[in-house]
Structure 1
Amino acid sequence: MTERPVADFSAKPTLTGAKVVLRPFTEEDAPTMAEILRDPEVLLLTGSAGAPPLPDERLRSWYATRSEQTDRLDLAVVDRASGELVGEAVLNEWDERNRSCSFRTLIGPRGRDRGLGTETVRLITGYGFERLGLNRISLSVYAFNARARRAYEKAGFVAEGTEREALRHEDGWVDATTMSVLAREWAAHRGRPGD
């Protein structure tokens, strides 16, 4: 079997869907991302509650350098209806030999409950398989983040196992579910397994 070579992550595409545009970050996105990253729900659902906020200068530097990274893909999630930056989508932890990487996304308060997350997952996952030649994309989702888990399942991610007590939260512990989707699964459903 001839396998397609895996491209590196140096190309930073713009991916356009019906509801969102995923585009490369710029330094000018830092203030909006700082606001999103301080949202209590974002902090909770990403497991960052209680962590000190990143200084503005560090955020400016971070988002200004995303396009320079050759081993990961960080894209801004823009709501097409409003033109507003509402979150981010990231392919990272690239394992070139095994043609796999991790995925994470976050959507701030202005982008929730309208299907933007599901479309974001489909767009970046499709890019990972169809353009980068990945074989596997995986993620981890906390048990209290049912909205994200639904979005991942709608895009074809399958639960693989439970990371027990993966997050300390308030006076207890929260499990996380490891999920993944494979290239052959994506080829069969293109991110719409229930259709």
Structure 2
Amino acid sequence: MRGIDPGMLPIERESNGISIRKYQPGDSAAIVEAVQESVATVGTWLDWCSNGYGRSDADAWIAHATAQWDEAGMFAFAVVDATSSDYLGGVGLNQIDQDNRSANLGYWVRQSYESRGVGTQAARLAVGYAFELLKLSRIEIVCAAMNRPSRRVAEKTGARFEGLQSGRLSVHGQALDAAVYTITAPAARRQV
């Protein structure tokens, strides 16, 4: 991002027992375990979450996430338990538009930690990172309209529902309607 050196940004944030941190090479085994556990839930909405996901996929993801972080193209975080360091899922800021100071927010939580507030807490930490450190002014969350857990996280994070978009997402080769939510930085809301 213009004027921001990714190497100078903090690589971890913590609140209420949840930590988000930059992915590390040693995360591969934990990612694979979480993905395999979550095929029936997360895999319904995200194509990459499948029985075929393995160590090489996790290694490739970590390498991609690290390279994109270093280029300020994407900020992907591992979501971990702040005490045990157990891997709970992922959250990230992608599709960063520097000119308009906006980005997309994505998240997923492993099946055994769903409905515990992990996704909401991780999303809040990532939104804070976006507004406070990256100086973004708008975050967009796009999820399948029928994905109630993801929509609940968006709502609990304070995102405003902007509407449905026909066929916006492709999941398992099928066009799905998407629910679009936005969060704007407090300073951006005042400049009307």
Which bin holds the TM-score, normalised by the shorter protein? Answer: 0.7 to 0.9
Structure-1 residue corresponding to 2:65 = 66
Q: Contact 1:26 / 1:63 at 8 angstroms: preserved in 2? A: yes
| Alignment length (residue pairs) | 183
Q: Secondary structure at the match of 2:105?
A: strand
Q: Secondary structure at the match of 2:31?
A: helix
1:24 and 1:141 map into 2 onto residues whose CA distance is: 23
Structure-2 residue corresponding to 1:20 = 18
Q: Which runs of 5+ in 1 are unaligned?
A: 189-195
Structure-1 residue corresponding to 2:180 = 178
1:185 and 1:45 map into 2 onto residues whose CA distance is: 33
TM-score normalised to structure 2 length: 0.81
TM-score normalised to structure 1 length: 0.80
Q: Contact 1:75 / 1:88 at 8 angstroms: preserved in 2? A: yes
Change (3 A) 1:7 1:61: same
Q: Which runs of 5+ in 2 are unaligned?
A: none
Where in structure 2 are the equivalents of 1:145-156 lying within 5 Å?
A: 145-156=147-158
| Residue deviations 1:51-75 (CA, integer Å, cap 9, x gap) | 6734522421321453332211011
Change (3 A) 1:161 1:8: farther
RMSD: 2.8
Instruction: Pick which of 58-67 and 71-80 moved more.
Output: 58-67
Structure-1 residue corresponding to 2:86 = 84
Q: Contact 2:144 / 2:179 at 8 angstroms: preserved in 1? A: yes
Alignment of 1:94 onto 2:92: no
Q: Contact 1:20 / 1:77 at 8 angstroms: preserved in 2? A: yes
Task: State, as a whole percentage, how many aligned pairs show the same letter.
Answer: 26
